[in-house]
Structure formats: C-alpha cells, structure tokens
Amino acid sequence: MKQTTAAGALTETALCPSDYARIVDAFHAQWGWETQGAPGLGRRVADWYCSKMMQHVTFGRLLIAPSGGTAGLAVGSVFGDRPVLGRDARLPERRAALQREIAAQEGGPETIALYDNIARINEQLRRRARENGHIFAAELYFLWVSPDYRGCGLSRRLLNAARTAMKARRAKNFCLFTDTDCDWKFYMRDPWVACGREPWPDVPGMEGGAGLMFGAAL
C-alpha cells in the first residue's frame, strides 16, 4: 500500500560509506528481473554492478522511512570530485571476486554480457555527444523510489536534491543514461535535451531496445 500520508515523515540524509548495502538493495529491487539464471543470482549481480558504479559516485541523497528502510535515493558524480566511498572500500577487488562467482553460475555469463553491452552503448553515446558539443560536468547515475512511496512526488524531490548537490559543486550541467525499457518519455520535454539514441544489439534480453542519453542545465 502506498504510504502517501507518511511521505512527509521521511528523513533526508547525505550518502555515506555505510549506505553501500542500501544502494545494492535498491538496484536489485529495480533491476533484479534482468538477471538471467538461477534464483539468488540477482542480488550478487546488483552488488557486482554497484561495486563499479560506486567507485565514481561523489554525491548522493537518501530518503529514510521512520522504520529505517530506504524510501528513495539518488546518486551521481560531479566529475573531478572525490568519490564518497574512496579507495578504502576495496570496490575493484569486490567486483572482480563477484564477477568470477557470477560467471560460474548458470545464466551468469549472459547477464554479465547484457550489462557489458549496456556500458558499451553508453560509452558510444557519450563519445558522440562530445563530438556534437555536449560536454557535461556531472552525471546522475541512479534514482530510485520504493514502490511503497511511488506517487508521492519523491522522484522530483530526489532529482531536485541531486541538482542542488551538483550546483553546490559549481557544475553547470549534467547528463544521464536510460533506455527504452524505462519511462524515457519523461525526459522528452524541457529542461531535458536529447543527446543521442543507440540501438541495442539483437541478443537475448536486448532485442528491439535502445540506449538513450539526455542532458540538462543546472
């Protein structure tokens, strides 16, 4: 049941190193269905993906429910800033160990290939955007709201919090990547600018899809 009336009781906090598990949980809740293979693999895949993403995250805002659960979060990077988790988290080693474990599971190699394809498409979009004069100072990596709190305006609240964090670091603009499996039409209006579209390869799990890049001024 949506907790619309409880949305005002949420506590907003800045991301800290101890919040890593919250990020993994949120990513698994949002994208665990993409995992190919055995039950339980999705959580390890989420950890594997986040162990790379969090090497670059320099800011984040979380909304914490009275119960202590995560109601929503937004994380991203202002390029050139120090990552929140820093080098002490040993994220590269964590990712390498998880990748070996996932690759040995049924469906694991296919899932790794899916995410590698998405990363490759995003880099192609980034390169073409630069060639077309779209150069960004920051990037929003992940914005998520718990199903219990959707419909309460929290996505906009978190986006505004992320924008404030980026502006505080003197970023003038930012970008994000999404795809046609998401609600991408949200970005087809001001202040967003479409920076590119790249078809996904015709492989299992990606047939007919496309990667998308959008940018916005701050």
- pLDDT the model gives residue 35: 61
Q: What is the C-alpha to C-alpha distance for residues 50 and 61, in angstroms, rounded to an integer?
A: 16
- For 17-29, give one letter per residue: b (16+ CB within 10 A) or e: eebbebbbbbbbe
Q: What is the C-alpha to C-alpha distance for residues 142 and 161, in angstroms, rounded to an integer?
A: 13
- pLDDT the model gives residue 12: 96
- pLDDT the model gives residue 1: 44
Under-70 pLDDT residues of the chain: 1-6, 33-39
Which architecture characterizes domain 4-171 according to CATH?
3-Layer(aba) Sandwich (3.40)
Phi and psi, residue 81, nearest 5°: -80, 160
Q: What is the C-alpha to C-alpha distance for residues 93 and 101, in angstroms, rounded to an integer?
A: 13
- pLDDT the model gives residue 136: 98
Q: Record the pTM.
A: 0.92
Please state the domain extents for the chain.
4-171
- pLDDT the model gives residue 37: 60
- pLDDT the model gives residue 38: 66
